[in-house]
Structure 1
Amino acid sequence: MEHPRLFDPDDAMVARLRELCLRYPESAEVEAWGRPTFRAGKKLFAIAGASMHRPQSVVFKPATDEHPALSELDDVFVPPYFGPAGWLAIDLGPRTDWAFVAELLDTSYRQVALKRQLAALATAGLTPNPSTAV
């Protein structure tokens, strides 16, 4: 069964997520569950919209050691479906710190990327802290 599209392709939040996610080696946007998902090859590293009730958010895979601290932030929450596997989500809005979101997405990409994709990061000029490159 095909899911209905749950986002506007011209949405500014989705455009900003595309800008941040598609700069990684072998990254691609794939529509799944009615939402834009971003993948490192075949592996998910970000999902636009955590749920119908929180469409202006992004789901990401944090580093295990960062999970507890991130969980304490007011705008971070455990998303449905992905939460039990250790994923988190962050609400996005007018006050979003996009440099911080870029760091979360960078970590998420690095959690799932293959060795060749990680090696290509240096060639692409992407640093471990993307806030300096955004």
Structure 2
Amino acid sequence: MDGDAARAHPMWFPPEHPLVERVRGICLPYPEAVEAISHGRCTFRAGKRQFAIVGVAAQPAVLFIPDESERPVLLERDDVFVPPYEGAYGWLALRVEAGAGDWSLLAELVDTSYRRVALQRQLRALDAGGAGAGGA
């Protein structure tokens, strides 16, 4: 990231942050999952599409794409909220910290999010026992 980009997008949760490290452990086992910095945040992608984003400004949270049928129930939880920008595109966020939060729920939500954006070959690899679900 060049200097201008770093100033435009402060990194609240850089790659070495404990929260990012824990989320990385959940996300990177998925077939062809990669980590990338986008708009000053660590993101996890299946191919070109993001399935998890760490942080909402300075808030320790992980953004994910929920199953639409689960969205109303998730929004009843105190630790789930609609993030300011990505919320318009269907994303939700779960408040978690490296040492606290519902990490088993997060692993399930990341699994759903990955499945929502993954390519067919990635889903076949996942369902064949490739990885994923439960790196928490």
Is 2:95 the partner of 1:88?
no
Contact 1:51 1:79 (8 Å CA) reproduced = no
SS at match of 1:119: helix
Match of residue 111 from structure 1: 116
Q: Secondary structure at the match of 2:31?
A: coil
Correspondence 1:48 to 2:54: yes
Is there any run of 5+ residues in structure 2 with no aligned partner, and where? none
Contact 1:25-1:124 at 8 Å conserved across structures: no
Partners of 1:27 and 1:126 in 2: how far apart?
Answer: 10
Q: Structure 1 stretches of 5 or more lacking a match?
A: none
**Corresponding residue SS for 2:26:** helix
Quick one: distance in 2 between partners of 1:39 and 1:124? Answer: 19
Cα offsets for 1:79-131 (capped at 9, x unmatched): 0111112110011134312111100000000011111110010234447xx34
Tell me the SS of whatever aligns to 1:65.
coil
Three-state SS of the structure 1 residue aligned to 2:45 is strand
Percent identity over the alignment is 50
The CA distance in 2 between the partners of 1:37 and 1:10, in whole Å, is: 13
- Tell me the distance in 1 between the aligned counterparts of 2:14 and 2:90: 28
Distance, in Å, in 2 between the alignment partners of 1:124 and 1:74 is: 33
Aligned partner letter, 2:55: G
Aligned residues: 129
Aligned residue for 1:101? 106
Asked if 1:33 corresponds to 2:42, the answer is no
Q: Give the corresponding residue for 1:78.
A: 82
1:51–1:80 Cα contact (<8 Å) kept: no
> What's the TM-score once normalised by structure 2's chain length?
0.86
Superposition CA RMSD, Å: 1.7
State the distance in 2 between where 1:14 and 1:102 align: 14
